[in-house]
A and B are shown apart, each in its own frame.
Chain A
Amino acid sequence: ETGVTQSPTHLIKTRGQQVTLRCSSQSGHNTVSWYQQALGQGPQFIFQYYREEENGRGNFPPRFSGLQFPNYSSELNVNALELDDSALYLCASSSFPSNRGDTGELFFGEGSRLTVL
């Protein structure tokens, strides 16, 4: 167990709908990242939040957006869902800046599996 919890674990939406996924980071971690993992592929970086602001983004369109709250928990919002958005969405937390001597590892949750019909 990493201490990173995500909800819901599974959900089904239809094309054009909107979805919100939630993540509680590990205690003491101030940075949250989101990843999309399509079936049979490695996770792809969506974006990262630090101090409630997005401070790094991958190659995803603006309909993917997020929030980070003062308690460092986070939400991922996806608007106008498309069939290709079907994937496992992973949240990861870490501390930034890291202390020297930290492994720099990210702690991942078990993900939210989204199916778009």
Chain B
Amino acid sequence: DAKTTQPPSMDCAEGRAANLPCNHSTISGNEYVYWYRQIHSQGPQYIIHGLKNNETNEMASLIITEDRKSSTLILPHATLRDTAVYYCIVRRAPIQGAQKLVFGQGTRLTINP
């Protein structure tokens, strides 16, 4: 699985959009970009994933660059409950192989009132 690079920490004001970047320059053609987050004292929670097109769901938007070497997770209107560690993960399609996720250090996002 390709390696990802994320900033260790970020701050964002409540109500503003939080934009979390991720570099995955060694991603291969059959690998997806997944985002999980981990709120303190809880297990990781799935947010969104994508292959090459931009994706949006009720939680967030995912913007993947055309060369697929980087992506940005966008939380459009951050709330205090979005304070968490956010992990960007690259993995093969879920129908292929084991369900292994390779977590890095993630980005610790703090939403300030």
Contact = CB atoms under 8 A, between A and B. Distances in A.
Interface stretch (B15-23, B60-68, B72-80, B97-105): B97-105
Interface in A69-117: 90, 92, 94, 96-98, 100, 102-111
A43 B37 CA distance: 12
Contacts of B42: 110
Given A97-B95, A98-B95, A111-B43, A45 B100 contact: yes
Contacts, number: 70
A102 B94 contact: yes
A108 B44 contact: yes
Contacts of A45: 100-102
Given A41-B105, A42-B106, A43-B103, A106 B46 contact: yes
Which range holds the interface residue count of chain A? Answer: 20 to 34
Interface of B is mostly: loop
A48 B43 contact: no
Nearest to B94: A104
B90 to A, nearest CB: 13
Closest 7 CB pairs of A and B: A104-B94, A108-B43, A42-B103, A56-B98, A105-B46, A98-B94, A45-B100
